[in-house]
Structure 1
Amino acid sequence: MDSWQDIKQVVVVGLGITGLSVVNHVRKKHPGVTLRVMDSRENPPGAEQLPSGVELHTGSFNPEWLNQADLIVCNPGIALATPEIQQALNKGVRVVGDIELFAWANNKPVIAITGSNGKSTVTDLTGAMAKAAGINVGVGGNIGVPALDLLELNADLYVLELSSFQLETTSSLKTKVSTFLNLSEDHMDRYQGMEDYAQAKRRIFFNAEHALVNRDESETYPEDDELPVATFGFNDQDFGMREIDGRVWLVDNGEAIISTDQLRLVGKHNWSNALVACALLKLSGIDYRQGLACLTAYTGLSHRCQVVADEKGVKWVNDSKATNVASTLAALSGLSLAGKLYLLVGGVGKGADFSELAKPLSELNVTLCCFGRDGDEFMALHPSAVRYDTLNQVLTDMTPKLQTGDMVMLSPACASFDQFANFMARGDDFTQLAQQFSKQVS
């Protein structure tokens, strides 16, 4: 049955890049449909790019439009609990999101990825390895390009990062394989609790051919007992890890894939991300071994444990995206260094408790470099702690001390807005300084 049958009036709620992708898709594929857009913001981003003839309502929701619609396409940032959306739902109006529209239009294989942490890296890496294996691939969704815009590529495979918000309004997406990486507390202002949050993420398994789950987290398993399930984790079952002759290897059902010391990705959580990318490709019928050269060269997404300089045996790692304690803990997990770690922490702490960092720091050969407005909050965590004002000061002081085997990592556990516009600007500043100072290592 045609999902668009009897749909004559569509209201898009929420503009921005996602809303614009919906407008452009509907206008191109269903030109006979009447299209209206509303956004509760007075000056929504993307308004100037809206095609002429598309009516726009700003500054509030318009209940009359919503109740008259045959279909409402909701931006993922708009909660279904919004009273005006609930009123329309109660009147029988169908409410979907952009991913559901993608599902209606797409007939190519899809790999879908969700989770509280790591999903952007897994999505990007899976796409890069598929491309290296000779596949014409489109990568996007909650990262980068909106899913509906990807359809213009006419790719042979789509790799989609999907948030819980997107999944709330998605029920028809068919996938070759879907994965739910992990679950940690987030978005509790939107959900009734952790189970409600997990339930939204488990919708990724609707209409999947295979499920890939985290064997250490039962919450990531599908509720459908009939769905074939593969697992990943840190032991050597299924897709896992094994120590062979003192080296840690990624393994596929006992068969060694690649040793972790061949990867440029930093940290145990990133080894897991690499393992998941291989598993997703295999479960989709793609030979991941054709992408292993890509995997060894992959340095990560910008600002997420990204190696930005590697000179004279010293690695410089930009993890500016670590704006909270959990992210910095993930970056430290499984770090194995021949030399010393110079860890740069600080910024705006947002009232966080940093004491959880003390134990992993105690197990590392580390110098803790504390900077920014709340740098003092870190000083008691490790006897090595040194106080600075700026990133430039930190790197000026430490560079003459660096030796082969050392690592310099910015993983601040704090927001950036004391000294930078955002975490990207902070990461860019660190990257520029790292590339400058790395040349001075003796």
Structure 2
Amino acid sequence: MSLVRFLARHGQAFAVADSRETPPELSTLQREYPQVSVHCGPLSAAQLSAAQVLYVSPGLALSTPALQAAIAQGVSISGDIDLFAQYARAPIVAITGSNAKSTVTTLVGQMFAAAGLKVAIGGNLGVPALDLLDDAVDVYVMELSSFQLETTTHLQARVAVCLNISEDHMDRYDDLQDYIAAKQRVFNAAQALVVNRDDLLSQPQQAHTSVISFGLSQPAAGEFGLREHQGETYLAYGNELLLAVSRLKVRGSHNYANALAALAIGASMALPMAAMLTALQAFAGLEHRCQWLRTRHGVDWYNDSKATNVGAALAAIEGLGADSSGKLVLIAGGDGKGADFSSLQAPVAQYCRAVIVLGRDAEQVAQALAAAVPIERVSSLTAAVQLAAQLAQAGDSVLLAPACASLDMFKSFEERGEKFAQALEELP
């Protein structure tokens, strides 16, 4: 609908095709744009091949036969991000990665706002890209998925970052290298790069003249990292101590990495350090992203429903586990998207008291972790919460970090997180 509004506003001749028989916005489209031709159901190769350009939804794989037939006929493939980049008059900060995109995008946006700039935030998060276009905007901060980047060739970001890489969407990509290649497109023709020095897979394969790195190690000159000083851990820039991590509202090493990434992005855009640190101290995290819910009988409960892949769950387990005096009771499972869960075994063995599994691929998760800790199987999230309350001891934390998508049992990761919080509130 964002594309429809944009193309209609610019007087373009276009038609709409949707692979679903009754897409959710069909009635809106027909009511507001009765002149637009709409085709619903299986995509027609002949119809698509008659177009000059196809703006493809990120939800549709480019390997779809009708799209491949159109490509073979010389039809151009593009997407809303490409179109946005061609019309945006302000600098674009482009943020991708397997995990923490939304957190870092939101945090960077708040840093720009704290510096007094008019910032527009969106893309894969919140507002669709084309709805953000406004000549009054000073800077665009964009979260971009690998699916969006597949159809993006004209991005030319002022600053680009791939925060991290872990196996995800293996039900759509041929292999991990195929997925990495899609993520790496964020760097194409970017003026400045921000690089995670702790994650080789996320780093650009071509040298660049303007690079700032972040990581959890002690930073060299011109880098962001962590330093110890008088028994406290600090966010640091080279030798300069910036802020004690104890003054952040978010916990865990993964959140410290997010803070450092945001600082590196802001520095690449010459933001005042004071404004960035003010925004950092005010940032309380996002819903469903390692979100602290409450303490009950000495046990902290965390909702990380957004941990829809193995890498995100790994970050949450290691981040909270290292920052907690007790053990974790992990709730995991759902639609595994063809992922390999074996990399969770070591951190689960180190930090977890037990793992509760549920959902379509619960047995795959259980088999991967069975040698690490006791595994409990349940059929609902409510049952998982009730069992977790019994298993957790004072000083422990219960962590919902599914390592899986939610669509086997829920409408979205948000609904899954809300049901988790509701089940927690309903405990006696």
TM-score bucket (shorter structure): 0.7 to 0.9
Deviations 1:274-320 (A, max 9, x none): 11011111101222431323322323222111122369986432112
- Distance 1:204-1:421 versus aligned 2 partners, 3 A rule: closer
Q: Match for residue 43 of structure 1?
A: 22
Superposition RMSD on alpha carbons, in Å?
3.2
2:304 is aligned with 1:322: no
Where does the alignment leave 5 or more consecutive residues of structure 2 unmatched?
none
Where does the alignment leave 5 or more consecutive residues of structure 1 unmatched?
1-19
Equivalent residues in 2 for 1:6-405, closer than 5 Å: 20-28=1-9, 30-31=10-11, 33-50=12-29, 51-152=33-134, 154-237=136-219, 238-309=223-294, 315-335=300-320, 336-337=322-323, 339-348=325-334, 356-364=343-351, 367-368=353-354, 370=356, 372=358, 377=366, 381-382=372-373, 390-394=383-387, 397=390, 402=394
Q: Which amino acid aligns with 1:410?
A: L
- SS of structure 2 residue aligned to 1:175: coil
Using the TM superposition, name which of 164-173 and 307-316 deviates more: 307-316
Write the distance in 2 (CA, Å) between the matches of 1:158 and 1:34: 28
- Distance 1:78-1:363 versus aligned 2 partners, 3 A rule: closer
- Distance 1:394-1:195 versus aligned 2 partners, 3 A rule: closer
Q: CA deviation at 1:272?
A: 0.6
Q: Which amino acid aligns with 1:258?
A: L
Whether the 8 Å CA contact 1:369–1:388 is kept in 2: the answer is no
- Distance 1:205-1:153 versus aligned 2 partners, 3 A rule: same
- SS of structure 2 residue aligned to 1:212: strand
Write the distance in 2 (CA, Å) between the matches of 1:328 and 1:93: 40
Q: Match for residue 8 of structure 1?
A: none
Q: Which amino acid aligns with 1:370?
A: I
Q: Which amino acid aligns with 1:393?
A: Q
Q: CA deviation at 1:337?
A: 4.0
Deviations 1:310-365 (A, max 9, x none): 6998643211233554433211224344632442424558698766545324444x
Task: State, as a whole percentage, how many aligned pairs show the same letter.
Answer: 42
Q: Match for residue 11 of structure 1?
A: none
Q: Which amino acid aligns with 2:152?
A: T
Q: CA deviation at 1:97?
A: 0.6
Deviations 1:77-136 (A, max 9, x none): 223333333333333332211011101111101100111222122112211222233221
Whether the 8 Å CA contact 2:51–2:75 is kept in 1: the answer is yes
Q: 2:420 aligns with which of 404, 409, 430?
A: 430
Write the distance in 1 (CA, Å) between the matches of 2:415 and 2:175: 33
Q: CA deviation at 1:193?
A: 3.0
Q: Which amino acid aligns with 2:4?
A: V
Write the distance in 2 (CA, Å) between the matches of 1:418 and 1:170: 30
Write the distance in 2 (CA, Å) between the matches of 1:264 and 1:434: 22
- Distance 1:254-1:345 versus aligned 2 partners, 3 A rule: same
- SS of structure 2 residue aligned to 1:79: coil
Q: CA deviation at 1:44?
A: 1.8
- SS of structure 2 residue aligned to 1:34: coil
Write the distance in 2 (CA, Å) between the matches of 1:258 and 1:435: 35
Q: Which amino acid aligns with 1:235?
A: S
- Distance 1:358-1:98 versus aligned 2 partners, 3 A rule: closer
- SS of structure 1 residue aligned to 2:61: coil
Whether the 8 Å CA contact 1:213–1:232 is kept in 2: the answer is yes
TM-score norm. by structure 1 comes to: 0.81
- Distance 1:269-1:35 versus aligned 2 partners, 3 A rule: same
Q: Which amino acid aligns with 2:386?
A: Q
Number of aligned residue pairs: 412
Write the distance in 1 (CA, Å) between the matches of 2:269 and 2:224: 15
Pair member with larger Rg = 1
- Distance 1:323-1:151 versus aligned 2 partners, 3 A rule: closer
Q: Which amino acid aligns with 1:121?
A: T
Whether the 8 Å CA contact 1:216–1:233 is kept in 2: the answer is yes
- Distance 1:371-1:246 versus aligned 2 partners, 3 A rule: same
Whether the 8 Å CA contact 2:385–2:424 is kept in 1: the answer is no
Q: Which amino acid aligns with 2:3?
A: V
Q: Which amino acid aligns with 2:162?
A: F
- SS of structure 2 residue aligned to 1:172: coil
- Distance 1:284-1:397 versus aligned 2 partners, 3 A rule: same
Write the distance in 2 (CA, Å) between the matches of 1:89 and 1:342: 49
- SS of structure 2 residue aligned to 1:42: coil
Q: Which amino acid aligns with 2:421?
A: T
Q: CA deviation at 1:39?
A: 1.3
- SS of structure 2 residue aligned to 1:208: coil
Whether the 8 Å CA contact 1:267–1:332 is kept in 2: the answer is no
Using the TM superposition, name which of 258-267 and 175-184 deviates more: 258-267
- SS of structure 1 residue aligned to 2:86: helix
Q: CA deviation at 1:208?
A: 1.2
